[in-house]
Amino acid sequence: MELMDVSLFPAFDFSRVFIEPWKNPASVAWNGQVILMGLFICWTCGVLGSFIVVRRMALMGDAISHGILPGLALAFLFTGSLALAPMWVGACLAGLACSYCIEWLRLHTPIRQDAALGLVFTSFFALGVTLISLGAGDVHLDPDCILYGEIGFVPLSPSLRIGGMNLGNQALWTMGGVCSLIMGAVLVFYRHLLVSSFDSTLARSIGIRVRRIHFGLMLGLALATVACMESVGVILVVAMLVFPSVTASFFFVRLSSLLWASFPLGAAYSIGGFHLAQWLDCSLAGAMATFAGIVFIPCCLLGPQDGIIWKLRRGTNNFRMNETKKASG
């Protein structure tokens, strides 16, 4: 009996993976837009994720990104349109409602935050799926679009026109605008975000409105999620909210350093994931998230800030020092 010759991975061809995507102007224009969108998404989510991770709310990104679904469905049902403005309004309101419900359950019931997250985001997501199946099943607003997206179709986005001028790809302008808005807000409110992330009691004592900062962060997260959703889906958004800051934490301890590290890491995820997808002929968003995981593994092992090998080495050195002290004593 002959065994089937099954290869999990295609043969690696350097020219096909690294040369062909850039060999002519049309390919450069198309693939350049894909990578640029990836950069905007990775940078936006990386900066927001740094604050979410240091607040120990990494799953909040997952909750908000799923919790916006009923807002999107209701926005379509009320307006009959997939225009960006009503989608953003619906998503932001649903995201804030999701965050408020989680906080209310945490503060006013015995339910812990992790359980509240699970209860609220699954309920919101299930409600969104139900609303879509009831009234929006004939349009491309569906759970698969929201979960997976397709960043490879970004160049097909309609052009943005203002006063008869063609400014180029509308999706890139939208994501670039959201990225700039988030960066500007972080610069303006950095001190408030920094203090409230580490010590809410101190923040209140110096006049910082902690709840407003919290819900402002959730609003930014909802904005970023809905801007990214159609291009890359929720999966990459959640990955980019967590991977940059967690990976950087093996090298840096200061929050400002984590924020700056989001930029080179985001570039690595976008460019590396693009070429990984060229090799494996798979989903671009999935490849970017996979490449983020590939980068994380050596950092987790070798990072000087509590990397596994460094911790083992320090433990061995401490053991030897203790043995030496015992022998000399």
**89-121 per-position pLDDT tens digit:** 888 888 889 888 988 998 888 888 888 888 998
Is 58 a member of any domain? yes
Give me the CATH number covering residue 261: 1.10.3470.10
For 210, the token pair is: 């902690």
Tell me what the pLDDT averaged over the chain comes to.
85
Q: How far, in Å, are 73, 87, 128 from residue 141 at the CA level?
A: 8, 11, 11
Residue 317 pLDDT greater than 70, yes or no: no
Is 177 a member of any domain? yes
Residue 202 pLDDT greater than 60, yes or no: yes
**Per-residue pLDDT at 18:** 92
Is 273 a member of any domain? yes
The 8-class DSSP code of residue 1 comes to -
In terms of residue numbers, what domain contains 310?
21-156+167-328
Is 304 a member of any domain? yes
What are the residue ranges of helices labelled H in the chain?
Answer: 14, 25-54, 58-67, 69-79, 84-108, 113-135, 143-148, 170-188, 190-198, 200-205, 210-248, 255-280, 284-302, 308-328
Is 245 a member of any domain? yes
Is 281 a member of any domain? yes
Is 15 a member of any domain? no
**Would you say 232 and 240 are in contact if contact means Cβ atoms under 8 Å apart?**
no
d(CA 46, CA 37): 14
Provide long-range contacts, Cβ within 8 A and 24+ apart, for 297-300. 299/247, 299/250, 299/251, 300/247, 300/250
Say how many domains are in the chain: 1
Is 94 a member of any domain? yes
* pTM (2 d.p.): 0.86
